[in-house]
Amino acid sequence: MQFMEHGKVHVAYDDRNYELEGQWFWPAYPGPYFQFHRAPGCESWSHRHLAFQGPLFGKWVAEGLWPTEPQAAPRGKNWPEFFDEMRRHADTPTRWGRLRAINMLEGLLLELAEARQDVHRHEPWLHDVLNQLDSKDADYVAIAHEHGVALSTLRRRFQSATGSPIHEHRLLSRIAKARAMLVETDLPIKAVSDSLGYQNVHYFNRQFKRFVGVPPGRFRRSR
């Protein structure tokens, strides 16, 4: 996770380009080709970053907490001081330091996710689409038709509003449900896979491991 305190930078994810000025957070996550550099007209900038890995990252992605594009720092907090404290805990060679850093990072992700929700809470069409995508048999074409737009328009509007492609959002939502079912029920893994609309349990296992970091069986045992 990157944080810029001041200055101006150009950030790019594949063909998506952003010019950021002031205090911003932006993810540098596996997936798209990512780069950033000083923006034209800016002599320097000040920024910090925190690197991490492990199954908790998959949890944050699956629950929709991980941002997929740059986001302005929410108002009301001394973010440079917060970020420095989080990094100090992360560098502390003790279990307690690591847990404090994890707690602060998850808190940051929650604040960013809440800020994103505040931006879009007055878009009733988005609320309806999110509810429809929650169905196991969600049909993108039918959803677009119900809202009176072409599928391409629905995809574009959805990504603009949420920062995520519609298919990726639905996929991560299913992974989040799978995690909950594996922890809260004793259903066999195949039954979990079937209930989420997967036709092949082996594909479900691969997809779950891709986002959570471990296979479903191992994830359940770790709980």
> Which pLDDT tens digit goes with each residue over 23-56?
999 988 655 577 888 888 888 889 999 988 777 7
Q: Return the exposure string of 121-152: e unless at least 16 CB atoms fall within 10 Å of the residue's CB, then b.
A: eeeeeeeebbeebeeeebebeebbeeeeeeee
175 residue type, one letter: I
Residue with tokens 């307690």: 96
Residue 125: predicted pLDDT: 82
pLDDT classification of 103: cutoffs 50, 70, 90:
very high
pLDDT classification of 118: cutoffs 50, 70, 90:
low
Q: Which residue has the higher pLDDT, 28 or 64?
A: 28
SS3 at position 93: coil
pLDDT classification of 65: cutoffs 50, 70, 90:
confident
Q: What percent of the chain stands above pLDDT 70?
A: 92
| Residue pair 155/166 in contact by the 8 Å Cβ criterion | yes
For the question of whether the overall pTM of this predicted structure is more than 0.85, the answer is no
Instruction: Find, among 30, 29, 54, 62, the residue nearest to 183 by Cα.
Output: 62
Residue 32: predicted pLDDT: 56
- Across 18-32, 52-66, 116-130, which has the greatest mean pLDDT? 18-32
pLDDT classification of 159: cutoffs 50, 70, 90:
confident
